[in-house]
Structure 1
């Protein structure tokens, strides 16, 4: 997109409250006037952060603009958060970019989103930040020109050794689990897998996410309290963080605030505090 269109004012006075300050927050506060980034323990950064990027349309509506304006602003936030996550040492960042259900939106909005996706894939940014690029989802449904752009970026960044940025495109958990089941059934039919050997670990090898660990932290912006068919299998023991901030307003300090909240939690994975202590 034109450079002039890629900068948006995110400190508008009518914007929603920051992360953790609204109805869904945990009231995480700064300590001794330190920023949230300064509070972070860089040795305890979550390896895998997944984000449901919600609120673009409502952000645009607040400003009397079309939904496409919100999506453009949200695309800018993707670049900001991806670069910040890479700097902080996050190993995997997975973004819910376009769901299978989103195909049911008005045709003009879907077309605009596909064009925005094409324009937003900046290989130069990935190379500069040593970011490896991957995609999960039913990508065969995407327009050919988008598929070509995605595949080229995947190939060109494959040797990068920093953070892996994963876009969930034309994705839903139910689709993914159904596809994994079909592949596993075929493997059993062909004698590659025995039925008695199938467990959760074997099944997970057939998921689209088999190249990365499960998310440690799932963030959802925009004030909604649901997972929206996103990484349902993988988030069995993920820490969930909901905030009222719309995605275009979610910047570096908001992201660090979510990480601070994560670092203050005790992850038990079904065990007691005494067992993990």
Structure 2
């Protein structure tokens, strides 16, 4: 996709971002560097994660997006609808996901799903579809998506947000990230994260657009564009999810990172605009 190969001359300087303590942090190997759509800074062995104030991070419905955005129609249509994900009281671990009618679909979406409810999770807007999932909410784990391109798209954003920001991130990783060297590396580095609740959610990247780079019923590669409101910058992350058991799971890079590349773009040309804020 040509739009993802262009790097903006105005791309943010990630080489010396400010840490919560006011000191610059070298990018080093760039373990993360905003690839998870939040203010996450990286060096080879240490991650500094800045979270918003606890009072502002409770899950809550979002107002519809501005009328000029592609997402506004779907957000407005579904704003009054009840959330599509029933809570469960299971404490022994999740059961099997329910069968879904769209399990055989391979049609790549050219527009956003029209049955979406947006909620905020630790400052990041997340979509949920009545048709495509997630159909089960179990604590910090949102799971059970359809085996479709749209199901893979929603799962990619949900998991990529929650396996970093969730209070019970270890459970998210255990259930929704594929095992292997990448998961092991991520857990080792995420375990050393230091959080600071003094940052507001306005500094987080939010979903702005997407493209399905490739899809089979077993593996999907999704390009997710995040927009940073403070600067207006757009960044593209390429995320892979794998169908395992009865749901999509995130596949990490061997070093524990989510994306093999982080690219800046100057427009949403070539992508499908979609976002909740």
Q: Same fold (TM over 0.5)?
A: no
TM-score by length of 1: 0.26
Which structure shows the higher helix fraction?
A: 1
Give the number of the structure with larger relative contact order, counting CA–CA contacts within 8 Å between residues 6 or more apart.
Answer: 1
TM-score by length of 2: 0.26
